[in-house]
Amino acid sequence: MTGGVWEAVIGQPTVVAELRAAVTDPAAMTHAWLFTGPPGSGRSVAARAFAAALQCPQGGDGTCHDCRTVLAGTHADVNVIVPDGLSIGVAEARELVRVAGRAPSQGRWQVIIVEDADRMSEAAANAVLKMIEEPPPRTVIMLCAPSLHPEDVSVTIRSRCRVMGLRTPSVEAISDVLIRRDGVDPALAAWAAGASGGHIGRARRLARDEDARLTRKAVLDIPLSLVSLAACLNAADDLVGAAQEETDAATGALNGAETEALKASLGVGARGPGVVAASRGSAGQLKELEKRQKSRATRIGRDSFDRALVDLAGLYRDALVVGSAPGESLPLNHPDRRADAEELARRIGAEGALRRIDAVLACRVALEQNVKPQIALEALAVALRLPA
């Protein structure tokens, strides 16, 4: 156990050691950091812990005002950019640069954390690159991205950052934190950790949310149900419907509140002298808000599809493993569905499993390229159909 703010960084001892050294040793400190690692490894958690330690006079004791406000997201000198749409545009990047240029008002550093930095548009990335090349004094920028692939983060930005590569936490580490920090029953914690694919956030949702467990079960029931064309089309309909329900639940109330707040600030519906002039251009601002809301809804839907596709690919991978090494106790993505993996291995073989993994990955690409979800998922389900 590392103590203080670092307790939240699960299963990353090497990364924590480097970050603690940077906090205490000016020679080990730099102004630009890139946190990479697989989904759920805790990139943004590590960045926030680092930000708290930088602001804390004690290097991240976890109890002082600076630590508490940074971790709560209310520290005046720590700004976190979380894209809720498909991308981070140049306007957001320029605002980020403007904020980064300010001197710290309360803390020791002006810290900017950008989650999902791989979503920056080319223009946004160029604006951030210029700031990294000419950093303001006492400013630290932390970019979080899911991989080191050149297409995810531009090589020019990557080459100017110190890279912190996080790894997938072990099942034991995830289970321990669920028990210790969230009070989850040990048996449920062990199951959720094993079923999460090394994703800490997903393990927590599976442990605490019955709907999340039911959604996962429904997805993993699909492969052995695909015995006819009708079953394939039904499975695609179910996936699209589940994603739409999740999107509606996440955006319904939020969209309405945002729209009403903007209308109130613009004076829409108000009467009196000067109101017409003051509200001129309100239609354009409302249209821009609607565009952002639509982008957010698309992203939530894609994230839902992506979780389902990752689960499906994991089950076919398990079928490949158990079929290639029967009787051996090799780690599985879905250890609780070993029987399904064995049945799939018997019915489709190693070559069939590989073909289906390729089909799942091709569907992920199609969705990112804006192919209509219904069409992409119907094509996938047909490709996954079991042989007669």
Among candidate residues 267, 222, 260, 218, the one with its CA nearest the CA of residue 380: 222
Mean of all residue pLDDT scores within the chain: 87
Report the pLDDT value the prediction gives residue 268, as an integer from 0 to 100: 66
Rounded mean pLDDT of 370-386? 96
Rounded mean pLDDT of 78-94? 83
DSSP 8-state secondary structure symbol assigned to residue 27: G
> For residue 145, what are the β-bridge partners?
36
Higher pLDDT pick, 233 / 273: 233
* Residue 280, burial from CB neighbour count under 10 angstroms (0-12, 13-18, 19+): exposed
Domain ranges of the chain: 4-165, 170-208, 229-268+290-383
Contacts of 295 (CB under 8 A, 6+ apart): 84, 85, 86, 87
- Whether domain 4-165 has CATH 1.10.357.10: the reply is no
CB 210 within 8 A of CB 188: no
CA dist 303 and 39 (Å) reads 12
pLDDT at 96 over 60: yes
The pair of structure tokens assigned to 71 is 């971790």
Among candidate residues 65, 130, 59, the one with its CA nearest the CA of residue 98: 130
**Terminal Cα distance for the chain, rounded:** 54
Report the pLDDT value the prediction gives residue 121, as an integer from 0 to 100: 85
Query: What is the pLDDT confidence band of residue 84, given thresholds at 50, 70 and 90?
Result: confident
Report the pLDDT value the prediction gives residue 315, as an integer from 0 to 100: 96
pLDDT tens digits, one per residue of 132-186: 988 888 899 999 988 755 456 788 888 899 999 999 899 999 999 999 988 999 9
Measured in whole angstroms, the distance separating CA 210 from the mean position of its chain's CA atoms is: 21
Within the chain, residue ranges assigned H as helices are 13-24, 43-55, 65-72, 90-100, 122-133, 155-158, 171-182, 186-195, 200-208, 210-220, 229-266, 275-278, 282-324, 338-368, 373-383
pLDDT at 275 over 60: no
The CA-CA-CA angle for residues 167, 170, 176, to 5°, reads 125
pLDDT at 267 over 90: no
> For residue 143, what are the β-bridge partners?
34, 114
Among candidate residues 12, 6, 100, the one with its CA nearest the CA of residue 51: 6
Report the pLDDT value the prediction gives residue 285, as an integer from 0 to 100: 72
pLDDT at 123 over 60: yes
Rounded mean pLDDT of 345-352? 95
Report the pLDDT value the prediction gives residue 276, as an integer from 0 to 100: 52
Report the pLDDT value the prediction gives residue 1, as an integer from 0 to 100: 40
User: Strand, helix or coil at 78?
Assistant: strand
**Percent of the chain at pLDDT exceeding 70:** 93
CA dist 33 and 157 (Å) reads 10
User: Given CA atoms 250, 304, 200, 209 in this order, what sign does their dihedral have?
Assistant: positive
Query: What is the pLDDT confidence band of residue 280, given thresholds at 50, 70 and 90?
Result: low
Topology classification of domain 229-268+290-383: Zinc Finger, Delta Prime; domain 3 (1.20.272)
144: phi then psi, degrees, rounded to nearest 5: -120, 130
CB 288 within 8 A of CB 295: no
